[in-house]
């Protein structure tokens, strides 16, 4: 495979050894002679994968004993409905920091009283709101810790007077997390912990069972906890790749070691954006994401956007075009993105500067 520097924001770059393991498992899973694409989820070999995957989550994030980890189909967008279905009895509050946070709020409003406690839409979601007060009568307060489209991130675990629920789709396993501060953490796997097709949910078990509404069986977290994520056929292949990705994170030295590398990558790229007269960052500096680096052409150079995209592509740099709703550029530097990849983009930006500045 020729070296291409991948900065895609959706399905992420995965470590090469994970790809290699996937190829082996497609041919023969765990010595069974059966492909992982065809293995029954009711076998001891698959039970072992499920058990070890849960154990890796608990080990890597130091998850307390009174929490459970489950894996569900549908991605984080379906969790936008799961969450209010299981937690909203009277009133919920949301921190509206971007497209995905707003969509989560909208789903909750379809089931009951839910509103934005604070919102950064006034400045195109370029910052994380501060100084707001969380009402003490909420059933829960929901945050989206990293905003992939706008490049902002909540980097610390907040103290919250009510149960705190977080969508960590795009920054999970990129920094240490004090799980005990949350009633629930969830997200799609396809940024840092695997391919698209499965969502992870870390849930404090005694936070459930407090709503009076009927919860459809398939949408009841308690059912999936009781059935060990196999109430119905699980997304087997996606979970297998998650398993291998978590093993890779452990081999790298765990979340703490990965975080140091992620910060190093982000610092290198933001330093070039701030130095280079052709480019300018779009997120407030104090809220810049270490996962999704968003920037645009500087004033006076806007007409060079398409030229830079073509120039980058010629240098085997792909996936840096900004989200269609905001334009510009976005380099997603998830865990498996290497410092070499980031340096290739930095070098490309410097070379482009010499042509136009």
The residues carrying an active-site annotation are: 100, 167, 191
Alpha helices in the chain, H assignment, sequence order: 16-27, 44-60, 75-87, 99-109, 221-226, 236-251, 254-275, 305-314, 339-356
Strand pairing report for 67-72 and 146-147:
unpaired
Q: How many CB atoms lie within 10 A of CB 309?
A: 16
For helices 339-356 and 254-275, the axis angle rounded to 10 degrees is: 0
**3-state secondary structure string, 280-349?**
EECCCHHHECCCEEEEEECCCCHHHHHHHHHHHHHCCEECCECCCCCCCEEEECCCCCCHHHHHHHHHHH
Q: Which of 14, 302, 146, 338 is nearest to 346 (CA)?
A: 338
Helix axes 99-109 and 75-87, enclosed angle (nearest 10):
40
């Amino acid at each position: 495979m020729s070296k291409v520097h991948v900065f895609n924001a959706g399905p992420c770059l995965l470590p090469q050894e994970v790809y290699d393991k996937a190829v082996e498992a497609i041919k023969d899973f765990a010595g069974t002679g059966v492909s992982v694409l065809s293995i029954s989820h009711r076998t001891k070999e698959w039970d072992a994968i499920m058990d070890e995957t849960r154990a890796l989550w608990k080990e890597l994030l130091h998850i307390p004993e009174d929490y459970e980890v489950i894996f569900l189909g549908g991605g984080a967008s379906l969790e936008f409905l799961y969450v209010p279905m299981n937690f909203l009895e009277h009133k919920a509050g949301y921190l509206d920091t971007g497209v995905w946070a707003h969509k989560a709020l909208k789903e909750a409003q379809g089931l009951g009283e839910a509103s934005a406690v604070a919102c950064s839409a006034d400045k195109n979601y370029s910052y994380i709101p501060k100084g707001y007060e969380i009402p003490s009568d909420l059933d829960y307060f929901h945050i989206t810790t990293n905003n992939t489209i706008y490049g902002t991130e909540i980097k610390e675990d907040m103290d919250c007077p009510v149960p705190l629920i977080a969508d960590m789709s795009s920054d999970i396993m990129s920094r240490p997390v004090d799980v005990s501060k949350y009633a629930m953490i969830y997200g799609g796997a396809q940024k840092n912990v695997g391919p698209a097709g499965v969502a992870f949910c870390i849930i404090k078990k005694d936070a459930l069972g407090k709503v009076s509404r009927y919860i459809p069986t398939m949408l009841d977290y308690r059912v999936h906890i009781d059935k060990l994520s196999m109430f119905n056929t699980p997304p087997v292949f996606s979970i297998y790749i998650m398993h291998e990705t978590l093993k890779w994170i452990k081999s790298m030295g765990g979340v703490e070691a990965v975080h140091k590398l992620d910060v190093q990558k982000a610092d290198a790229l933001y330093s070039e954006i701030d130095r280079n007269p052709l480019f300018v960052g779009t997120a407030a500096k104090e809220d810049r994401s270490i996962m999704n680096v968003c920037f645009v052409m500087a004033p006076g150079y806007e007409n060079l956007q398409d030229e830079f995209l073509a120039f980058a592509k010629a240098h085997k740099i792909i996936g840096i075009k900004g989200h269609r709703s905001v334009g510009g550029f976005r380099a997603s530097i998830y865990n498996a993105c290497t410092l070499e990849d980031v340096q290739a983009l930095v070098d490309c930006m410097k070379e482009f500067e010499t042509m136009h500045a």
